Structure 1
Amino acid sequence: MAPSPSSWICDGVPKNGKTYPNASGAHPPYENFGPDCAVCGLPREAMEPASSGSANGSKKSRLTLVAVALGVALLLMGGLGFLSYRLLLTNRENNPPSLPGGSTRGSQLVSKTTPRNAAYISQGERILISEPNPQRVALKQEAALAFDQGDWAQAIAKYQELVALDPNDPESRIYLNNARARQAGNPMTMAAVVPIGTSPDTAKEVLRGVAQYQEQFNASAPHRLLEVVIVNENSPNGVTSLAEDLINSSIQGVLGHGTDANSRAALQVYEQAGIAALSPLTTNVIPQGNGRVQVQTLPLNEKGKQLLNTYLDNAAQTLAEAIAKKVPNAKVALFYNSDSPYSNELKNKLTALLPQLGAQVVQPMDVATGFNANTAMTAARQAAANAVVLAFSRARVNEAVALAIANQTQTPPLQFFGSDQLYGPDLLIKGDSAINGMILAVPWSTNPNDPFAQQAAQAWRGQISWRTTTAYDATHALAQAMAKGGDRASTQQLLRQGVQIQGQTASGTFNRVPLVQAAPGPNGPKGANYQFNPLSGI
């Protein structure tokens, strides 16, 4: 296939007579869209014949320096200041500076500019979430190849077929939307960073919210369509390396990351680079009345810890009150995992709150220091526990299921309570009847009469989670700021000021923490006999 006018072919062997000690060497011909080869690292000039002569090369270098100097002067006069100048030097033209309207000189895919993390980033040119169905695997490979080659009509047709085969697949839906956006030209681009490697179900829940708003936004005939870069945060190079690669691309804003130390480090990278990032540690949702909310990003060091503590305070309060009402004179076996700051903090808050409500913690147990579910439940009963709280991080769903199964074999079984981190398909599918009646505190829960929940359930052929809803709202706010701002700096400024949207998240994610309870029903995830129902009256 002949390369497109803006691309160039590299085989790893310099043609200009120069040596490049940092390049990795010869490789099969590869089509590139950025200034350096995504495979070996050679610059584009290495593929140009040496016949141009040193005088011409010197003249070209001088012209390049003049152009860069002029560009820096224009950036400074345009009010972007020292940060833009520093980024220009850092990127070495790997990330073309934004032009008016937020477009860039090239439209290369983000993964083409980052050899180290290319396998963890996709706009549609590779599949990141594993697919168990062989028919869909082959079709996805065909769709990704068409996208990678810029054959938008073919990519659209293939991804349309995939969405029809599995309406619950958010990755294919996002790539379909992206192919349409690229076909239309000059899309505005955001990134969604999700834990595909460690928690694919959680990643899908977030991506469903992103895809749903992306589709809605693009159907509204905006000046520029919205494109979403999906990023698997579990790169072996580290999450900060992913953040650095996103900075060196055309994205205007980022959604995702969690509350752990690595996420904090990545968020600091975005903040220093002037990129808006919506995450639990940087985002405040303020009710405005009449169903509207203001979504506002806050500096990480200034407000991030406060936001997390506010949420954990309310989650702990909700759980403690539910325990006191559901189990009079509660004696609690409190399970946690000390390798998670989230779990540690929730455990500490519950330990302080429960005695204030007439309950007490009789058996704190750390599953990170050696764990056997049957032994742990026996110890809980020997301590006279009549309730169990699972203050786990999301990586400990298997331990939660094991404890629930061990509890089921004992008479009478104890009432289980848990944190939002357990809310997901794995608990319902793996736990089955053992988790019947378990109560969780989550930032949002579906209501059968909620129009948004009905619309989302129809779109995704099943009940959605709070992660889907909060991701929908976050994408809504980010897309509105991107469309109005047009570039990174303006997008960040608008979100710092606050963007008002018709919010679907229940009045302030950090201000109210509803309860849900596991119960038999047909509305759970595929393969589950149980579902989460909203719980009131406790």
Structure 2
Amino acid sequence: MLQSSAPLALNPLKLLAFAGIGVVAIFWLLGQWILADHEKMHRDEGHLKQITQHSSTAHNPLASVDRFSSGERVLFKYRGNFERDRGVKAFAAGDYSTAITQFQQAIQSAPNDPESQIYLNNAKARQQGNPYLLAAVVPVDNQASSAEEMVRGVADAQTQFNDAGGDRLLEIHLVNDGNDPSVAAAIANHLANHSEVLGIIGHNSSDASLAALPEYEKVGMAMISPTSTSTELKGDSFFRTPPSDLASGRTLAGYAAHSLTRVVVFSDSQSSYSKSLQQSFEQAFVQTGGDIINVVDLANSGFDAQSAIQSASESGAEGALLFPSTKTVSGAIAIARANAGLPSDKRLQLIGGDALYNPSLLLNGQSAVEGFVLAVPWVAETEYAERSARRWGGQISWRTAMSFDAALAFIHALSNGVSRNDLVENLKQVRLFEATSGGSLQFSSGERGEPILVEVAQGSGGPDGSKLTFQRLEQPDVKQSVK
């Protein structure tokens, strides 16, 4: 039978030795873990910096480094802001604490500058480490006002998400494509080749989006455009927050059919957006029994608004459909002025697309555009519109609202470990009803909802210098008119 052993008598010196070895081992393991985590943070930060410090100019000068910034450089250079410039310098040096202080001061100096707000959020995200990364591609070069409107919406969503806290914050990488299709394609190729960029908010014009989309499709990268409405834009990874031109064309045709039978169309043959809206309207209007007596090209070098509207009136047109691109908006306003010069019984009803949904229509058109009816994606009658107007010091545009929704959709589709492909699938399941800029947000085949009709009328709420504003119009039952 086995006897129980006597207690072991250990040498105190040996106990101390074993304890010392254990402590050393623990500190060694802890040091390895800290080192690995530190290296990972620097590696992640290094990947992020590569996007804005690349040598793409050697491969494709269209994707110049000056077009990219998370905070390392100023894109909206027309704005002067000393504190912002100091923040940019600190951000580029990796001194995020100083950058945060400077960007906060920059925002106090210029509250309506969205670039500083984005960079402040990014500095906080970099400081915390391991942020989610999305790119927002906007047309700084040629449409700086539209670009800033888009960035304000993205900044609103990013601020809301980051201020709520969490293990990972959101970094927004700003990119300038100038609405140039060639530049847009080069930029898209560059972003697609940086796997840490999970998705794209943009581009602005339909032409730029059409050029960029194939690059994102190749790698299964989600693109949500807040402003591109062309029906040519299709793809498994393409989404948009405004209604498509198909929906807008049907809505305008339904409205026109209630009081008009003969119309003339003014469009831009060089614009995918303009051609797509024109085609959608024409198909739907003809179905109602309407007659399109002429199509006038606003992009034609010989275009003359006075003779064009005179000819339309003499041909018996009752209405004019104006579908300019952002480049030919001035031609549409010239049509409105020429129309106002006709005898009152000869004037045409003016109807148009969302490219005209801009304060410049009210300011430059003045009384000539009163009564103009537009199909638009959004109206400033929501809680978000009030909140954002307080933040930016003035009424926001539909571009801001749609950009907010685009960023919001991405935020709700993000999760730890999410891949680009996961993000595309997650976006298809997004269902938002109250947190948006107004109305529900869900994507059906990448599309969203129906447009709203507004009319230019006298009233408050318009831009300084104008007595006109955009007022919501009761919408006819389009389904009864257009099938």
Range into which the TM-score falls when normalised by the shorter chain: 0.7 to 0.9
**Counterpart in the other structure of 1:256:** 202
Query: 2:375 pairs with 407, 420, 441, which one?
Result: 441
Q: Is the 8 A contact 1:393 1:421 kept in 2?
A: yes
Q: Does 1:121 align with 2:68?
A: yes
SS at match of 1:394: coil
> Does structure 1 residue 228 correspond to structure 2 residue 160?
no
Distance 1:200 1:330, change over 3 A: farther
Alpha-carbon deviation of 1:205? 2.2
Pair 1:506 & 2:439 matched? yes
Paired position in structure 2 for 1:415: 349
Letter of the aligned partner of 2:156 in structure 1? Q
Return closer, same or farther for 1:492/1:510 CA change in 2, 3 Å cut-off: closer
Following superposition, the deviation at residue 139 of structure 1 comes to 4.2
Please say if 1:272 is aligned against 2:218.
yes
2:223 and 2:237 in contact (8 A); partners too: no
| Cα deviation, residue 400, structure 1 | 1.5
- The answer as to whether partners of 2:179 and 2:204 remain within 8 angstroms in 1 is no
C-alpha distance in 2, partners of 1:529/1:365?
A: 30
Q: Distance in 2 between matches of 1:167 and 1:212?
A: 13
1:110 equivalent to 2:110? Answer no
Helix, strand or coil: the match of 2:71? coil
Indicate conservation of the 8 Å contact 2:266/2:323, yes or no: yes
SS at match of 1:227: strand
Tell me if structure 2 keeps the 8 A contact 1:363–1:383: no
Equivalents in 1 of 2:203, 2:216: separation in Å? Answer: 12
Counterpart of 1:483 in 2: which secondary structure? Answer: coil
1:174–1:529 distance in 2 versus 1, CA, 3 Å = farther
Note the C-alpha offset of 1:365.
0.9
Instruction: Name the CA distance, whole Å, in 1 between partners of 2:91 and 2:313.
Output: 58
> For residues 176 and 467 of structure 1, what CA distance do their matches in structure 2 show?
22
Aligned letter for 2:249?
Answer: A
Distance 1:260 1:329, change over 3 A: closer
Structure 1 residue 168: Cα displacement: 2.5
Q: Is the 8 A contact 2:352 2:375 kept in 1?
A: yes
The answer for the alignment partner of 1:324 in structure 2 is 257
Aligned to 1:43: none
| Residue identity opposite 1:373 in structure 2 | A
The alpha-carbon distance between structure 1 residues 459 and 214, as it changes in their structure 2 partners (threshold 3 A), is same
> Over residues 139-198 of structure 1, what are the superposed CA-to-partner deviations in whole Å (9 max), with x where a residue is unaligned?
443332232223323322332233233333222221121122222232221100112223
C-alpha RMSD of matched pairs (Å): 3.2
Rounded Cα–Cα distance in structure 1 between residues aligned with 2:343 and 2:383:
42
Separation of aligned partners in 1, 2:190 and 2:394: 35
The alpha-carbon deviation at position 227 of structure 1 amounts to 0.9
Aligned to 1:290: none
CA gap of 1:455–1:338, structure 2 versus 1, over 3 A, is same
Unaligned runs of 5+ in 1: 1-98, 284-298
- Give the direction of change, closer, same or farther, for the CA distance of 1:504–1:373 in structure 2 (3 Å limit): same
Distance of 2:425 and 2:359 partners within structure 1: 37
What is the CA-CA distance between 1:226 and the residue it aligns to?
A: 0.8
Which runs of structure 2 are paired with 1:40-439 in the superposition (5 Å)? 103=44, 106-108=47-49, 110-116=51-57, 117-131=64-78, 136-234=80-178, 238-249=183-194, 250-258=196-204, 260=206, 262-279=208-225, 300-301=234-235, 311-325=244-258, 328-357=259-288, 359-369=290-300, 370-412=302-344, 413-439=347-373
- CA 1:426–1:154: 2 relative to 1, 3 Å: farther
Please name the residue that 2:383 is paired with: 451
Residue number in structure 2 paired with 1:292: none
Partner of 1:85 in structure 2? none
CA 349–244 in structure 1, closer or farther in 2 if over 3 Å, else same: closer
DSSP-derived class of the 2:303 partner: coil
Name 1:56's counterpart in structure 2.
none
Larger CA Rg, structure 1 vs 2: 2
- TM-fit CA distance, 1:280: 6.6
Q: Residue 530 of structure 1: CA displacement?
A: 3.4
Distance 1:260 1:441 in 2: 17
User: Matched residues in 1 for 2:107 and 2:226: separation?
Assistant: 30
- Is residue 143–residue 178 contact of structure 2 (8 Å, CA) maintained in 1? no
User: Which whole-Å CA distance do the structure 1 matches of 2:47 and 2:327 have between them?
Assistant: 40
State the one-letter code of the partner of 1:267.
Answer: L
Secondary structure, counterpart of 1:512 in structure 2:
coil
- TM-score normalised per structure 2: 0.77
Work out whether residues 138 and 179 of structure 2, in 8 Å CA contact, stay in contact via their aligned partners in 1: no
Partner of 2:30: none
**8 A contact 2:456–2:468 mirrored in 1:** yes
**Inter-partner Cα distance in structure 2 for 1:302 and 1:251:** 18
Note the C-alpha offset of 1:319: 0.9
User: How much does 1:262 deviate?
Assistant: 4.5
Per-residue deviation at 1:506?
2.8
Distance 2:470 2:201 in 1: 26
1:120 touches 1:235 (CA, 8 Å); kept in 2?
no
Q: For the residues of structure 2 that align with 1:179 and 1:416, how far apart are their CA atoms?
A: 48
Give the deviation of 1:488 after TM superposition.
Answer: 3.4
Distance 1:518 1:193 in 2: 31
Which moves more between the two structures, 161-170 or 309-318? 309-318
Aligned equivalents of 1:269, 1:507: Cα separation in 2? 29
Structure 1: how far apart are the matches of 2:237 and 2:70?
A: 32
Secondary structure, counterpart of 2:264 in structure 1: strand
Q: Deviations over 1:397-427 (max 9, x none)?
A: 1111222222222322432111012222332
Contact 1:255-1:474 at 8 Å conserved across structures? yes
By how many angstroms is 1:336 displaced?
0.8
How far apart, CA to CA, are the structure 2 residues paired with 1:353 and 1:276?
31
2: CA distance between counterparts of 1:468 and 1:519?
23
Alpha carbons of 1:418 and 1:426: their partners in 2 closer, same or farther (altered >3 Å)?
same
User: What is the distance in 2 between the residues matched to 1:528 and 1:182?
Assistant: 44
Aligned equivalent of 1:534, options 451, 472, 476: 472
Q: 1:252 to 1:528 in 2, by over 3 A?
A: farther
